[in-house]
Structure 1
Amino acid sequence: MGVVVKLSGKRDSTASLAPLVALVEEDMSHVNRIILDRARSNVDLIPELARHLIDSGGKRLRPMLTLAAAKMCGYGGDGHIRLAASVEFMHTATLLHDDVVDESNLRRGKTTARLLWGNEASVLVGDYLLGQAFKMMVDVGSLGALRILSDARAIIAEGEVMQLITAKNTETTEDDYLAVIDAKTAALFSAAAEVGAVIAERPKSEAAALRSYGRNLGVAFQLVDDALDYSGESSTLGKSTGDDFREARSPFPWVLSYRRGNAEERAFWERTLKEGDIGENDLAEAVDLIARHNALADTMERARHYGAIARDALAIFPDGEIKSALLEAIEFSVDRPF
């Protein structure tokens, strides 16, 4: 049973991705067709495993950023469709790899691929999807877009290694953890938005603005995900509340709570997260310590800070329905229901 802590602070419950979804709906239908087509293989296991994760849902926020950014920048071709599909394949591959590294059992409310087909198959199919992503990038013929997305993939891999180093490490600081988020999550958000300007051959100032928008949106998005693990309902999360704790992962609220705790409280975190010795009532104790040190509310406050930076990054673009939808995506990401 999950332990739920409600967060304090003003929430914008009306924020939605619906305007963004509506604006890119036609393009997303093409993206989805490409995704299904590129997931095919004569090796039956590859499409079977890939479809398991692709069909499990997800907001597809990252490819929608590519499509919306390209539209806002006046792009008139169809290369943004392949780039958006590439972005989604990169994300899907990362999820497959993450579930193996994290030994996760649930993804988007479904049993993870690694439990159904094994770790080796999950990693190899993830590699296959990455290969397909880069083939699509090459097909587009934009060296700038290829460079941005290639750099992002390398940064994501660095972030995954950094996470291995910082996980269960009681010496992890707030700056250390934010560096992991920046690489592991924000890099793909950033690249997904930036390539929209690059493929439209817009000025460097617009590409930089979209890069900043995506990066700060990505940091905010991940911080909220971390808070959700200690405050959300399982039906909303697609996983059990407290999974990060039970699987001995170290999300941002834990980092704050540990740093602010006394010797006895730090000993608790060292036993549970560092040593993996987790008892029946330890999740409730973890939630209590996080609440005691205001770690959830402060995690959300930091998320709102990064959301504000993302909002300011779009200031150079003229007002319009696409810009408005991208701004609302920030509010939705930060103020998702718990």
Structure 2
Amino acid sequence: MDGSDNAHHGPQDRLAEALAPDMAAVNAIIRARMASEHAPRIPEVTAHLIEAGGKRIRPMLVLAAAHICGYPARNPGGEDHQKLAATVEFIHTATLLHDDVVDESAQRRGRPTANLLWDNKSSVLVGDYLFARAFQLMVEPGSLRVLDILANASATIAEGEVLQLTAARDLATTEDTYIRVVRGKTAALFSAATESGAEIAGATPDQVRALYTYGDALGIAFQIADDLLDYGGTSAVIGKNTGDDFRERKLTLPLIKAVAKADAEEQAFWTRVIAKGDQHEGDLEIALSLMERHGALAAARADALTWAATARAALAPLPDHPLRAILGDLADFVVSRIA
């Protein structure tokens, strides 16, 4: 798929159109639960983030999974799928608030981050508030299994963040560790979204498993593509500058692959720029040429495409449904930026 003709009508847009009535209800739930009469700082900070025009892909995954598995038809007037969609968006927003503090970020989706506009304390505490709100919401459908899925995802996300801290700048970081970090950072919430949507719809164990696998593989493909774009995307596409990960000395997949094949001289270069952070003008260009020399970018791209194919294939056992086709296209779309 080429990005240009899909920019205005890609699978995300088609998903948003198909789920528009549901998403209006989800947004109403988010606004109502964001309110705080005692601490006006809370809605101020959350509104800044939630209205920043994120794609809302995670709540849409909950709704799509529930629809594919027959939830609204089986439960007319039921709101549980919408509550779970709002829960997932709250968990996501809470992690963004905490992430920006941890990463000392100044921008998110092209706008100043909350920690920059307010302060780190507000960002951390409002993130905590959103986590608490998420747990209140996820109890309401009354499903222990759904609670289990979302509570486990919350733990995996936190674990992934801590693992990323210890793996950062450590040249011994393996591809396995990278995937574990990515599962925490991105894939855990994608798979929790699709799995909980299937679960609330009373899907069969095979269907629940299929949707878990889809979310997991989609999240990993998405993150690898994002990491690749850092070494060749335009800032307009990714909302950050090319080479940010390099400057922040993050060990993403292209870098890990290049380091694994480095000779002694290259190893010394990686030690200087990543382990020690002693970076000079022109080092990014050298890093890119080393990645190119060892086929690291091409290999990372191949991995992303494999994960996207895994996501698409996982949908096979699900009922035939227009939304199933859109989820299949979404898997291709997340890697179309690097294909």
Name the TM tier (shorter chain). Answer: over 0.9
- Aligned partner of 1:65 among 56, 61, 85: 61
Counterpart of 2:248 in structure 1: which amino acid? E
Cα deviation, 1:27-61, whole Å, max 9, x if unaligned, reads: 11111122222222231221111112112222111
Whole-Å separation in 1 of the counterparts to 2:336 and 2:322: 21
Identify the residue that residue 299 of structure 1 maps to in structure 2: 300
TM-score (norm 2): 0.93
SS at match of 2:230: helix
The answer to whether the aligner puts 1:43 opposite 2:39 as a matched pair is yes
Q: Is 2:119 the partner of 1:110?
A: no
CA distance in structure 2 between the aligned counterparts of 1:35 and 1:295, rounded to whole angstroms: 42
2:319 corresponding residue in structure 1: 318
Answering whether residue 328 of structure 2 is matched by residue 332 of structure 1, we say: no
String of CA shifts for 1:215-242, please: whole Å, max 9, x gaps.
Answer: 1111111111101111111111111221
Q: Which residue of 2 aligns with 1:227?
A: 228
Residue 207 of structure 1: aligned partner:
208
Taking the TM superposition and a 5 Å limit, the aligned residue runs for 1:241-260 are 241-260=242-261
The residue type equivalent to 1:53 in the other structure is: L
SS of residue matched to 1:168: coil
Check conservation: 2:100, 2:113, Cα contact below 8 A. Answer: yes
* Alignment partner, residue 271 of structure 2: 270
Q: Residue 160 of structure 2 corresponds to which residue in structure 1? A: 159
**Offset from partner CA, 1:224-274 (integer Å, 9 cap, x none):** 110111111111111122111112222111111111122222222211121
| Residues in 2 aligned to 1:68 and 1:84: alpha-carbon distance in whole angstroms | 10
Query: Is the contact between residue 11 and residue 327 of structure 2 (CA under 8 Å) also seen in structure 1?
Result: no
- Residue ranges of structure 1 left out of the alignment (5+ in a row): 1-9
Q: How far is 1:184 from its partner?
A: 2.5
What corresponds to 2:75 in structure 1?
Answer: none
Asked if the contact 2:101/2:124 (under 8 Å) is kept, the reply is yes
What is the distance in 2 between the residues matched to 1:54 and 1:279?
Answer: 38
**Equivalent-residue separation in structure 2 for 1:38 and 1:255 (angstroms):** 42
Partner of 1:316, secondary structure, is: coil
State the Cα deviation string for residues 277-305 of structure 1 (Å, max 9, x = none). 22232222222222222222211110111
Q: Which residue of 1 aligns with 2:98?
A: 97
**Distance in 2 of aligned mates of 1:204 and 1:101:** 38
Is the contact made by 1:102 and 1:247 (CA closer than 8 Å) also made in structure 2?
no
Does the C-alpha gap of structure 1 residues 52 and 167 become closer, same or farther in structure 2, counting only changes over 3 Å? same
Q: CA deviation at 1:204?
A: 1.0
Alpha-carbon distance between aligned partners in 2 of 1:337 and 1:223, rounded to the nearest angstrom: 10
Tell me, what secondary structure is at the counterpart of 2:250?
A: coil
Match for 1:270: what amino acid?
T
Structure 2 portions without partners, runs of 5+? 73-77
Write the deviation string for residues 12-35 of structure 1: whole angstroms up to 9, x where unpaired: 764532221211111111111222
Match of 2:240 in 1: 239
Q: Distance in 1 between matches of 2:112 and 2:266?
A: 34
1:74 aligns with 2:83: no
Corresponding position: 1:32 with 2:33: no
CA distance in 1, matches of 2:123, 2:272: 31
Amino acid at match of 1:156: I
Q: Which amino acid aligns with 2:64?
A: A
Amino acid at match of 1:55: E
Report the CA distance shift for 1:61/1:70 in structure 2 as closer, same or farther (over 3 A).
same
Q: Deviations over 1:80-121 (max 9, x none)?
A: 101001101111111111122222222111122222222222
The answer for the alignment partner of 1:138 in structure 2 is 139
Contact 1:96–1:113, Cα closer than 8 Å, also in 2: yes
Partner SS state of residue 140, structure 1 = coil
- Residue aligned with 2:315, SS: helix
Q: CA RMSD, aligned part only?
A: 1.7
CA distance in 2, matches of 1:82, 1:323: 21
2:12 counterpart of 1:17: yes
For residues 335 and 177 of structure 1, the distance between their equivalents in structure 2, rounded to whole angstroms, comes to: 22
Counterpart in the other structure of 2:52: 56
Residue matched to 1:5: none
Q: Contact 1:107–1:238 (CA<8 Å) still a contact in 2?
A: yes
Contact 2:85 2:193 in 1 (8 A): yes
Mapped to 2, the partners of 1:123 and 1:272 lie a distance apart of 31
Q: 1:12 to 1:239 in 2, by over 3 A?
A: closer
Residue 337 of structure 1 and its aligned partner are, at CA, apart by: 6.6
Contact 1:105/1:115 (CA < 8 Å) preserved in 2? yes
Task: Tell me: higher relative CO, structure 1 or 2? Use CA pairs within 8 A at least 6 residues apart.
Answer: 1
Aligned length: 329
Question: Cα deviations across residues 137-178 of structure 1 (Å, max 9, x unaligned)?
Answer: 112222211111001001111111111111100101111111
